[in-house]
Amino acid sequence: MGTDCIKPFIENSKKYNKGIFVLVKTSNPSSGELQDLKLENGKEVYIQVAELVEKWGEELIGKYGYSSIAAVVGATYPEQLKQIRKVAPHTYFLIPGYGAQGGKAKDIAQGFDEKGLGGIVNASRTLMCAYKSDMWKDKFQEEQFAESTRQEAIRMRDEINMCIKMQEEK
């Protein structure tokens, strides 16, 4: 849509101290039909959009070095996630696709900075259906939905943190 369409949302982010998420590289399988197209300048659409998001957020960088103009960047495309982090170092990422959609913790780790900051991981189905998973099905019944979800969230957190730490050590 471009800057003129996003500008009112950016202005409201400033005015109300809120944030927005812009789709950059989504986790769905057909995202490449549009997001991976090459532009005349040789860049893929997702890189161009990531650069715009980084630029749009320049005036909204908070105390941890991230803007309130954030990007949706899927875990199912780890190479693109890594590229986008390089061109958008001050952009917070919402990272869908971890777990049920196939994104792995080692893939997600590339979306975070050396301090383990810069992203929010979304794993809805994996958490909602934790009690059905091979890992938890013998430990929790359906009625224990909340506890299985909690245990899976803790497991996921620990796995992602371990991968972030391993990435830092490289």
Residue 167 confidence (pLDDT): 81
Closest CA to 78 of 104, 99, 53: 104
Close Cβ partners of 77 (under 8 Å, ≥ 6 residues apart): 25, 27, 31
Domain that holds residue 106: 3-123
Instruction: Output the domain CATH number for residue 83.
Output: 3.20.20.70
CB atoms closer than 10 angstroms to residue 144: 15
Instruction: Say if residues 132 and 105 touch (Cβ distance below 8 Å).
Output: no
Please check whether residue 159 lies inside any domain of the structure.
no
Please check whether residue 168 lies inside any domain of the structure.
no
Please check whether residue 134 lies inside any domain of the structure.
no
Transcribe 3-20 into DSSP letters.
HHHHHHHHHHHHHHT--E
Residue 112 pLDDT > 90 = yes
Spatial strand order in the sheet of 91-96: 20-25, 67-73, 91-96, 119-122
- CA 96 to CA 73: how far, in whole Å? 7
pLDDT confidence tier of residue 138, bands split at 50, 70 and 90: very high
- CA 48 to CA 15: how far, in whole Å? 26
Residue 72 pLDDT > 90 = yes
Tens digits of residue pLDDT in 23-40: 999 999 999 999 999 999
Please check whether residue 162 lies inside any domain of the structure.
no
Q: How many separate domains does the chain show?
A: 1
Please check whether residue 129 lies inside any domain of the structure.
no
Please check whether residue 137 lies inside any domain of the structure.
no
Q: Which of the 8 DSSP states describes residue 37?
A: P
Please check whether residue 59 lies inside any domain of the structure.
yes
Residue 168 confidence (pLDDT): 75
Please check whether residue 117 lies inside any domain of the structure.
yes
